[in-house]
Structure 1
Amino acid sequence: MAIMVGMIIMLGLAIMDKSHKQQGNNAMLLNLFATRVQGIRKSWWLFGITGGLIAACTSLGLIAGDPVSLNLLSQQKYLEAGIAATAVAIGFLSLVGTTAITTGLYSPAGMKFVFVAGIFISTGFLGDRFGALTPILAFIAGFATIACEVLILSQLAIFLDKFPGVKACGDHIRACTTKVLEIALLIGGAMAAQAISPQLGFFWVAGFYLLNKVSKKPLVEMAIGPIAAISLGIFVNILYVLGLY
């Protein structure tokens, strides 16, 4: 419930925020790339099928749209998972919309709201009241969701121009989600390295992190923890074979 209240407050503040000035960027893009938007609209039923399949698989617990909701689903916290998936979808709202307008390509999962439909129309959330019909209902909801996304793509772009705070909110959500994953993977890599070599593990990962920071061609920060832990495991095994560890 606390997550839901926070979500409502966040959206309310984002809609009221007018400090992020925009000069009709999305409307200008629509004028420039109108033919590409029309091309996406012509294939709305194909996107609807993919969205329906994604929602159905999500309702069956086979997939999830992001690690946060996946973790919550594993704990059977379906309401929290749905709210988290909604927040992630808002985060990708402007990114997916702008990319679709400028490139003429649309993601099979759309703006990620199909995952929200799949979570809220699942046996875990609704119980057994619909039985075997649950994935079918999720398919219909996913089909309708992504079809609506495609058909109102132009209106959505204009909406984001009118409420720039929503776009900024989405950008911050997306950035925060990425940063949380980076920190989690880094700490997880450090813990794994510490388990491999209690004397060296933490410092090995810290060294990798600092070297990556000063490198001219740094790696993606999400990869630092896992790569450091794997490399330490290889290094320790080599030392063990040589009888040095």
Structure 2
Amino acid sequence: MSTPGWQLAADAGLDFSLPQQLTVILLCALTAFISHMALAVFNDGVRPFMLDFIHGRTTRSATTAVSFGLSAGFIFGLGAPMALSSGVLNPWLLFLPTDILGLLAPKKWLAPLLGAGWGAVVVFGLNGANEVAHDLPVDFLTAMQQMSTPILFLFTLFPVLAITKQFGRAWGGAAGVLELALVVLTMKLWPDMFAGALAMAVGVLLLIGLAVRRDLAQRKADRADEAASGTAAQGPPEDDPMASLFSTSAARLRRYLPLFMVLGAGVCMLAQMHIFGGGEATSFLIAKGNISEAAQVDFYRFFGFIPLIATTALASGAYGIAGFTIVYPIGYLMPNPVLAAIAGAAVFAIEVMALSSIGKVLGKLPSVRDSSEHLRSAITDSLHLAILFGSLMAANAMGAGLGILVVGGLYLLNEAMGRPVVRMAAAPAAVIVGGVLLNVLYWLDLFTPVKG
């Protein structure tokens, strides 16, 4: 994790080639169109509201307002700062705005135009904003690169947190000791490898193994009880309204399978170009050139989102823009864009066709389903601490004690005001606001930037 190599990676990441620019613009146009059609949105919090919109029980403007309210903080507080500091695009910057623009557009033809316009703003405007920021006396973007180390290393602990929440302190403690030993071992024996890669692999496998063991034990106990009582398990009634809703939603999505295949191809191509990261840790790993480790990290995240995306898609009739997100790691590892497009299309075809079956399987594995909930919660908890700590490190790098006072104060003020900016995005947003304020103080001759 040498500083010079990191600096080059971050700076080079925002200078997009023509094929990269076209891919981003066309993909943003496509995602805005799909959002307008209410076929898919990226924001998991918006998806449950799509059912009423699809059935005409709420208006387009009301649904757009919900999407904007749930997405704006992530776009400006997390997506933009992460892209500027890492030099790698992310889904919050690309797909949350196209959710909003697609829903906002009153006409079908206008949605892709608005989406393409946003894509152009990103690919042509981001590099200019990056250059302007680096020329400021207080370079807060370079300071924000301090966030990479806490994000990468604290993210490693998310399996430990998930195991502790679901299976108790003993298993959590054992997982923590095991992960620490594996991190130390990796740093000693394989210094060129991301230190948390092996630890996360073992942690996620342990969590899944414990969940499957619990489910199998419960099913065995249930069968024993049934045999003892002479009764058979009752299946869901044929007129189950939820089963009917799930079936209708799955059929609706299957009707648009070709469009979803194009979407999968586009997302996978973007990931293959290595200008895009599916998560916070992934963005910094790609910026450092650790592509296989980035694929590994997003592969683990995939397990945490299967039940959420499957159940909300079946309940609402709207899928996820990135599907189950497995298309990210597949794209990172593809050798060229053509193979990435083919693989992405195939992955989305399989996902959409298998959606009903996945929902049924998850219904029979409650502990595995709960593990995914705990994984998502653990990822959020670990990243919240990492982003907050990294933001304070960035504040110290750009303004020492005054920087910490400003950034930490803005974060605490956001908490006291009831979090108008979502917690995950509040700290990076505070760094940008703090950086602007420190530059103003410099121009007023009230502040001297930290040297180095």
Q: TM-score range by the shorter chain?
A: 0.7 to 0.9
- Superimposed CA distance per residue, residues 126-168 of structure 1 (whole angstroms, 9 cap, x where no aligned partner): xxxxxxxx33222222111111111111110111111122222
Match status 1:103 vs 2:300: no
- Distance change >3 Å, CA 156–CA 174, structure 1 → 2: same
1:93 is matched with: 306
User: Which one of 335, 339, 342 corresponds to residue 140 of structure 1?
Assistant: 342
2:416 is matched with: 214
1:179 is matched with: 381
User: Which one of 259, 277, 287 corresponds to residue 46 of structure 1?
Assistant: 259
- Distance change >3 Å, CA 82–CA 186, structure 1 → 2: same
TM-score if structure 1 supplies the norm length? 0.80
CA distance in 2, matches of 1:64, 1:237: 30
Secondary structure of 1:110's aligned partner: coil
1:74 is matched with: 287
- How many percent of aligned residue pairs carry the same amino acid? 33
Tell me, yes or no, if the aligned pair for 2:245 and 2:314 is still in contact at 8 Å. no
2:272 is matched with: 59
Moved more, 155-164 or 73-82: 73-82
Tell me, yes or no, if the aligned pair for 1:93 and 1:111 is still in contact at 8 Å. yes
- Superimposed CA distance per residue, residues 159-209 of structure 1 (whole angstroms, 9 cap, x where no aligned partner): 111112222222222222223332333223222322333232223333333
CA distance in 2, matches of 1:212, 1:106: 32
- Distance change >3 Å, CA 83–CA 40, structure 1 → 2: same
Secondary structure of 1:65's aligned partner: coil
1:15 is matched with: 212
CA distance in 1, matches of 2:344, 2:205: 23
**In structure 2, what residue type is equivalent to 1:174?**
R
Secondary structure of 2:319's aligned partner: coil
Secondary structure of 2:418's aligned partner: coil
Query: Structure 1 residue 109: deviation in Å?
Result: 1.6
**In structure 1, what residue type is equivalent to 2:304?**
G
- Distance change >3 Å, CA 28–CA 4, structure 1 → 2: farther
**In structure 1, what residue type is equivalent to 2:377?**
A
Secondary structure of 2:321's aligned partner: coil
User: Which one of 399, 404, 408 corresponds to residue 202 of structure 1?
Assistant: 404
Secondary structure of 1:212's aligned partner: helix
Secondary structure of 2:401's aligned partner: coil
In structure 1, runs of 5+ residues without a counterpart are 124-133
Query: Structure 1 residue 118: deviation in Å?
Result: 1.3
CA distance in 2, matches of 1:169, 1:76: 31
In structure 2, runs of 5+ residues without a counterpart are 1-196, 219-234, 448-452
TM-score if structure 2 supplies the norm length? 0.46
Secondary structure of 1:112's aligned partner: coil
Tell me, yes or no, if the aligned pair for 1:56 and 1:118 is still in contact at 8 Å. yes
